[in-house]
Chains A and B, each alone.
Chain A
Amino acid sequence: MKVALFATCLVDTMVPQVATATAVLLERLGHDVVVPPGQSCCGQMHVNTGYRREAVPIVANHVRAFAGALSSGVEAIVAPSGSCVASIHHQQAMVARRAGDHALADDAAALADRTYELSQFLVDVLGVTDVGAYYPHRVTYHPTCHSLRMLRVGDRPLQLLRAVRGLDLVELPAADQCCGFGGTFAVKNAETSTAMLTDKMANVLSTHAEVCTAGDASCLMHIGGGLSRLRAGTRTVHLAEILASTEEAVTPRQSTSPAVPR
């Protein structure tokens, strides 16, 4: 299948290894990956901070970048981010319609129908749970809020992780509680965000996992940033990086949290 990769603004700029891992994984599964040029952001941060009008050209850019891909044989658009895919599904058409641009709203809705979060794409569209990965570490999984509640990815990431050879999956206590990131919430309500992060980190550390994984680089940057400050030793690694790892090749420059002396 020909698949277009939406790297998302954060992954592209800050954690490129997550997009690389997504491409490596999809290619290993026999798919043809394209990265449409001109892509930048889904517009979520603008919408969620109140800049609904300003988000419209961002949505238009996203539609422009990916509409061409669909007309050149791409069957699906995949992003390694539950939150961005949720925004594409639940916000893009809404802000366009609100601004009176119904053509853009229709185009955005049509793109959304073909856009998948990575674990949904693997399990629902490709029908695989064993992606042939090897990752000999003790791992705990944080279901990010937007994956869990807006996209309803359910236990798909867990199905995928359970099939990874060598991986010791440990349950995260109070897993469904928000880590406190919330985009600009982490800055606008920095203290409350830190209080939420503190509890999330305590739960992560209680599992004695070496790695905390999730399907969202943004939440992992937040949790990883906190763990790094604590010199905790537990790293955050995106789900795509774990799934892309094999016995032969561990994906390059793994870990989304800054390296911590171990």
Chain B
Amino acid sequence: MSAVDLGMPSLPHAPRGVGHLRGDRSFPDAARESLRDGQLRANLGHATSTIRAKRKAVVDEVPDWAELREAGRAIKAATMARLDEHLVALEEQVTARGGTVHWARDAEEANEIVIRLVQATGTDEVVKVKSMATQEIGLNEALEAAGIAAHETDLAELIVQLGEDTPSHILVPAIHKNRAEIREIFLRTMPQFQEQGVDADLTDEPRRLAMAARAHLRERFLRARVAISGANFAVAETGTLAVVESEGNGRMCLTLPRTLITVMGIEKVVPTWRDLEVFLQLLPRSSTGERMNPYTSLWAGVTPGDGPQEFHLVLVDNGRTAVLADEVGRAALHCIRCSACLNVCPVYERAGGHAYGSVYPGPIGAVLSPQLTGVEDNASLPYASSLCGACYDVCPVAIDIPSILVHLRAEHVEAQERTTPEAVAFRALAKAMSTPRLWRLAQRAAGLGRLLSRGKPTLPAALPPPASKWTRTRDLPTPPRETFTQQWVRERGR
């Protein structure tokens, strides 16, 4: 480092134009649309309250949940502190077991690597295990552009893919759809129904819908030569990858095809096998409200004659190093993608996942997405929270999301080059609040609001902006004649 180099170099964020971390509208604009959709709000309210109740029941039955949660937090914090060493160890172990490790700086590099690997096998289609990392980098779109069809095999991802929709929840990507809507999508898009015409047997009974998806997917599993997965964890000391899931589709993808490509964010590494003990208890209870997830698949490298004979691990940065460099914000990288914070968030429950404009919706998305892209590219997300704190309470690795939200708001405000009317107002208010004489004048000015009320207990609803944002749906009380401190001094003489 040269003598004139002051401070940290700025680290690259996730590139624009690729992947799904940025919305094309601000959160309030996108939310306005979903708030009008009564069906969506009903679907979300029903689903999140069901999952909330399930999660609470199974968490409450663990006597040492608080200790487990602290262990999870501590392992993550310690891992992040030496992430470079753990990643190098992981690469050594994966390589030693016959796998190949690829390093991708960002979404573009990761997509190029995967496309090259698929093309080398000579196939033009792949099956996919549900993966947030590949959604983040827009892998399906990149594969399609390269002439490769990617078939999602997770039931909810399949619904979203067939419906030409985008996921709205980390764990339940189709949470915004109800059974009737899913039936309609299946009838419209699944080849087995198109050949037979409309199938009256396909009711919206969950079992019927699952059977239809099963028949649809089975054919793809048996045909596929390449599978692409994400990873929930990677164990540095053994080079073991782990995927936890509920339906068994992941197990099919991870074992049947000849080539397996795993795309993983660099923060998913844990140092030792033993660390899994903690997370495999925290994750299923927090996410699906189950004591244990039905399928946990673990693999290391390749085993001749058994399972995939070629294994590639693509380690993706895509802005994570920049997140790691922020001592407050880096805790967002501790996230194990359980989605518990989404299910308790009152904002998510009303606005829905699409309002966040990123594959990471809800409270964790509101802190993770702006950090991966740079705050200026997702400036409305840190404000998409009432700071009620429910997310922090349920987070199985104790990420203090409200504090990170507040931190990112400050980063956004401090990075603004032009002075906004809001900044002028807040600065003036700060000046008044820190100067008792000015504060008394400001309070008296607020009291003049009485003049507008013409003796009524509330101010008129037609106040100018920004007060109109409040008075559109709420009455503002008329300020009192005298403040408390004025009255106190008058009556008691201080």
Contacts and interface: CB of A to CB of B under 8 A. Distances in A.
> Which of A189, A191, A196, A224: most chain B Cβ within 10 A?
A189
- Chain A CB within 10 Å, residue with most, of B31, B41, B434, B446: B434
Contacts of A54: 426-427, 430
A162 B473 CA distance: 33
B475 interface: yes
Contact of A53 (B414, B432, B470, B487): B414
Interface stretch (A105-113, A116-124, A143-151): A143-151
B145 to A, nearest CB: 35
B82 interface: no
A203 to B, nearest CB: 12
A143 B122 CA distance: 61
A225 B477 contact: yes
Contact of A192 (B351, B411, B475): B351
B480 A228 contact: no
Interface string B461-494: 1000010011011111111101111011100101
Contact of A193 (B386, B426, B475): B386
B392 A50 contact: no
B494 A37 contact: yes
A16 B487 contact: yes
A192 B350 contact: yes
A163 interface: no
B474 A225 contact: yes
A60 B482 CA distance: 26
B475 A61 contact: no
Nearest to A83: B387
Contacts of B456: 258
Contact of A12 (B392, B429, B483): B483
A225 B463 CA distance: 14
Interface stretch (B228-236, B287-295, B435-443): B435-443
A50 B473 contact: no
Interface in B388-447: 388-390, 392-393, 406, 409-414, 422-423, 426-427, 429-436, 439, 443, 446-447
Nearest to B32: A191
Interface string B199-221: 00000000000000000000000
Given A50-B413, A189-B28, A189-B384, A40 B433 contact: yes
B309 interface: no
Contacts of B392: 149
A55 interface: yes
B311 interface: no
A192 B427 contact: no
Nearest to B457: A258
B436 A146 contact: no
A145 B387 contact: yes
B473 A190 contact: yes
B350 A195 contact: yes
B458 interface: yes
B458 A258 contact: yes
B328 to A, nearest CB: 9
A182 B475 contact: no
A17 B480 CA distance: 9
Interface stretch (A172-180, A208-216, A242-250): A172-180
Contacts of A13: 443, 446-447, 479, 483
Contact of A178 (B31, B386, B473): B386
A20 B494 CA distance: 14
Contacts of A57: 430-431, 433-434
Contacts of A7: 484-485
A20 to B, nearest CB: 6
Given A180-B346, A228-B475, A258-B475, A51 B410 contact: yes
Nearest to B429: A46
A253 B492 CA distance: 19
Contacts of B413: 49-52
A229 interface: yes
A140 interface: no
Nearest to B430: A54
Contacts of B480: 14-17, 253
A207 interface: no
Given A52-B410, A194-B473, A189 B31 contact: yes
A221 B469 contact: no
Contacts of B423: 51
B390 A178 contact: yes
A118 to B, nearest CB: 15
A47 B406 contact: yes
Given A189-B28, A258-B477, A182 B388 contact: yes
A192 B337 CA distance: 24
B35 interface: yes
Interface string A32-45: 00010111110100
A88 interface: no
B411 to A, nearest CB: 8
Nearest to B383: A188
B377 to A, nearest CB: 16
A262 B398 CA distance: 47
B246 interface: no
Given A187-B469, A228-B458, 11 more contacts: A35-B488, A46-B430, A52-B414, A145-B390, A178-B386, A182-B388, A184-B383, A189-B27, A196-B350, A222-B474, A253-B480
Interface of A: 7, 9, 11-20, 23, 35, 37-41, 43, 46-55, 57-58, 60-61, 65, 91, 145-146, 148-150, 176-178, 180-197, 221-222, 224-226, 228-229, 253, 256-259
29 contacts: A7-B484, A7-B485, A14-B480, A17-B480, A35-B488, A39-B436, A40-B432, A40-B434, A47-B410, A50-B409, A50-B410, A50-B413, A51-B430, A52-B406, A58-B433, A58-B434, A91-B406, A148-B389, A149-B388, A178-B390, A180-B346, A182-B386, A186-B470, A192-B31, A192-B35, A192-B350, A226-B474, A229-B475, A256-B477
The 8 nearest A-B residue pairs measured at CB: A182-B386, A50-B409, A225-B474, A16-B484, A57-B434, A258-B457, A50-B413, A178-B388
